[in-house]
Structure 1
């Protein structure tokens, strides 16, 4: 496994704990050792993972949320 990197991104569309759970589970389905932290009021997600950043963004987008550039 490669070294983990922390990505911080702004994500639109998250409003509740279900959103937090959906994003967390989706990322961890691809990288079970990933650490996901969601700040709902600020609309921010922090992910520490060995996955590439574009993969993390795609996973979150596939869950129905918008990752801001």
Structure 2
């Protein structure tokens, strides 16, 4: 399954890496594609292993706002 999450506050490659690494640490996340220009993150994941809420929490723990 793939979801697009809106993330506010990402401005540079450091932001991109922080969000990517936080999501990839979660069991069940298969692929992460961060789009700085429009403030979105596409996440391919196994819904049997990880919830959308867990992914949002992982992003927020890095200091970004999820809408």
Residues of 2 paired with 1:35 and 1:12: CA distance? 20
RMSD of the alignment, in Å?
Answer: 1.3
- TM-score (ref. length: structure 2): 0.86
Structure 2: which 5+ residue stretches go unaligned? none
Superposition misfits of 4+ residues, deviation over 4 angstroms: none
- TM-score (ref. length: structure 1): 0.84
Structure 1: which 5+ residue stretches go unaligned? none
Deviation of the 1:33 alpha carbon: 5.0
CA contact (8 A) 1:27 1:34 kept: no
Post-superposition CA distance 1:8-53 (Å, at most 9, x none): 1110000001111101111111237521001101001111112110
